[in-house]
Amino acid sequence: MSSVIEKYHDLEAVILEYMPSANIERIRAAFEYARKSHGTQLRKQGTEYITHPLAAAEIVAEIGMDEDSICAALLHDCIEDTVATHEDIEKLFGKDVATLVEGVTKLTQVTYTSVEEEQMENMRKMLFAMAKDIRVILIKLADRLHNVRTLQYVSEIKQRETALETMEMYAPIAHRLGMQRIKWELEDLSIKYLDPVAVNDIVKELDQRHIEDEAFLNTVQSRLTERLGEYGISCQVSGRVKHIYSIYRKMFSEKKLLSEILDLHAFRVIVNDIADCYNVLGHIHELYRPIPGCFKDYIGTPKPNMYQSLHTNVIGSEGVPFEVQIRTWDMHQTAEYGIAAHWKYKEGKGGKVADEEKFAWVRRLLESQQDADAQEFMHALKIDMFADEVFVFTPRGDVINLPVGSTPIDFAYSIHSEVGNSMTGAMVNGRLVPYAHILNNGDIVSIQTSKSAKGPNRDWLDIIKSPEARNKIRQWFKKEKREENVMHGKLAFESELRHAKIPLADALREEVLSKVLTRASFGALDEMYAAIGYGGISAQKVVNRVREELRSAAKLKKDELPLEEIPEPKINNSAKHYHGVVVEGLDNCLVKFARCCTPIPGDAIVGFITRGYGVSVHRQDCHNYIASLNDPDETERWIRVSWVDTGDSLYSTTIEVQIVDRTGIVVDVASALNTLKVKISSFNARPATAGMTLITIVVEVKNRDELISAMAKIMSISGVSDVRRADG
């Protein structure tokens, strides 16, 4: 009990240090209310639950947030996990605090059809609240940071799920808001649970070279401090080794050992004004040789998240390259705390005085994706908020930021819908380029338009990168080409049905079609065809829903049969089954699954009588089985085996995924399996051919159908070139 009170006093100390005028009585009341509401609830590690809201509130205080934010952080789990209501909190602590707590609270009263849909709706709700008040996401980041700090107390599955969601959602949000300190910690903590072996290797090697690294950092730091002091430049110089995740990502993307990473060290010089930034840059380039093409001026061209610094890479006298970042103290505050450093409130009123345009991107995202389904929304979210960006210029010198890989079409639609719809050509750096041309940093882009233009082409949807452009093109087709959309959609739907081997008559049965249309919010069949035609929903997704309804109808029909009419399953009653397998002619024998082909229910299988280890079950397409058929001594040892009802049992099998190297693709693959609730037992990546990586994944599934769904999901990821079952 005393430790909780001590932690609360620590929180008060942090608050009073930067906000002496804070109403401590009100904050203490929020703490007492939260503690009483959570009552006897405990955290996984056995401590009082209130220790979590306390920790979240301290993180909120450390980034300098206002009194309402601290109260909301203390109360943030009350609506979700206790009997407290929005009205109770509003009555006691005011409307602003209650709204913040509501914004952080998950949608717990809704039933979802998939994990991805649940994740999407909670994220969408939080972003809507964030668009109105940025403090919602800052409190949520504090909540998530403390949860990740204490992941060691939860199960391995929960560790992996939370770490993956953090890497996919919360770390990129922190980056988008410019909150680098929180982003780095979220990434470093999460990667420990996603790839513990690789992280342990990195930490071990860093520990071994710690003395050498410290000596290098101290030498450069002393030399810079001495040189700048000689010229009367007031500054603070610090050096560090790159963060664990930064090293991990570089090693993986460039296929390098830690000893082969050249820019392992980074230095920061903080000065009083902008003029000194450029002055320091000159001194550094005199002391050390700059590496051509590695200078970036984020002061003249700030990042969208408000980050400003000068970056330069140089080679030290020892021949070791390193990076130097130069910024003012104000820029440093923004770099560390991002939007929180700029988000101020009127004393005692909670009124916003920050620049609303800084959050316009959130509103644009929500407006463009308001009709999207779960999968599309999450995809757009990752690109629009989290993807690496490219900075290009209009002919007038305005900076436009787009996702990496964007084309002139993306640029045109970022200017205005009409510019994109009337586009007839594009010039980059004064040269005519094709529509599929990939834009690079610093390009000057000019769009040619015509009033007589026919509008966008459907092929553009295959080459554009930004969700904003995709949505605007779809809206044009939705408005201008309804009859054409219906025709295209009908053809695509029927083609997908043929591919899925579902008769059209079955799909259009009244009891099936009505449920499909209702689930997808369509009033009529033509509306669905039109949506498929303009890209509002995929034909594959609709057919998957048709398949689900047909299965439900078949199951319902079977359940309605009188007991005596239900056919008895044909099972060999003379043999016992082990692990869901019946061995013909043998009873009470040991059954194991061959590691070379890892069979699962649904596979065609065959058994091999081993010497002393029972029957080994193989897939019939296993290369060991096929090869042994030419050996007379082994042929007689193969016997028939078959699957019986395996219930909800899980079976291990191995898949191999060949990917094109790109940042984030490994996390995308893991995320796809996580979305389908497929348990991952092992996940390893190794270089294959030039520019390619082979990922070997051991998964646990119920049957072949579940595995095929997972493999199809992975195959749909951009950059995945092949997915196959491992065989030997």
The catalytic site residues sit at: 80-81
Element (H, E) at 423: strand 423-428
Q: What is the largest CA-CA distance in the chain?
A: 98
Closest CA to 605 of 579, 587, 631: 579
Contact call for residues 696 and 726 (beta carbons, < 8 A): yes
Cα-based distances in Å from 726 to 241, 595, 702: 39, 10, 17
Q: Is 293 left (phi over 0), alpha (psi -120 to 50) or beta?
A: left
**DSSP symbol at 352:** B
Helix boundaries (H) for 460-599: 467-480, 482-499, 504-507, 510-519, 525-534, 539-560
Q: b or e along 367-400 (b: 16 or more beta carbons within 10 Å of the residue's beta carbon)?
A: ebbeebbbbbbbbbbbbbbbbebbbbbeeeeeeb
HSE-up (13 A, CA, CB side) for residue 352: 14
Q: Distance between alpha carbon 478 and the CA centroid of its chain, in Å? A: 30
Q: Report the distance separating Cα 205 and Cα 208, nearest Å.
A: 5
Residue whose token pair is 């943030």: 76
The distance in angstroms from the start CA to the end CA of the chain is 57
> 10 Å Cβ neighbour count for 237?
21
Q: Concatenate the DSSP letters of all residues of 444-485 into one string.
A: BEEEEE-TT-----GGGGGT---HHHHHHHHHHHHHH-HHHH
Edge-first strand listing for the sheet containing 445-449: 431-433, 423-428, 445-449
Cα-based distances in Å from 152 to 146, 182, 522: 12, 19, 46
Contact call for residues 591 and 583 (beta carbons, < 8 A): yes
Helix boundaries (H) for 231-328: 244-254, 274-287
> 10 Å Cβ neighbour count for 22?
16
Contact call for residues 281 and 310 (beta carbons, < 8 A): yes
Helix boundaries (H) for 21-105: 24-38, 51-62, 67-75, 78-81, 86-93, 95-104
**Tokens of residue 603, six digits:** 């596979």
Helix boundaries (H) for 133-195: 135-149, 156-165, 171-176, 180-194
Residues in the chain: 728
Contact call for residues 407 and 434 (beta carbons, < 8 A): no
Q: b or e along 693-717 (b: 16 or more beta carbons within 10 Å of the residue's beta carbon)?
A: bebebbbebbbbebbeebbebbeee
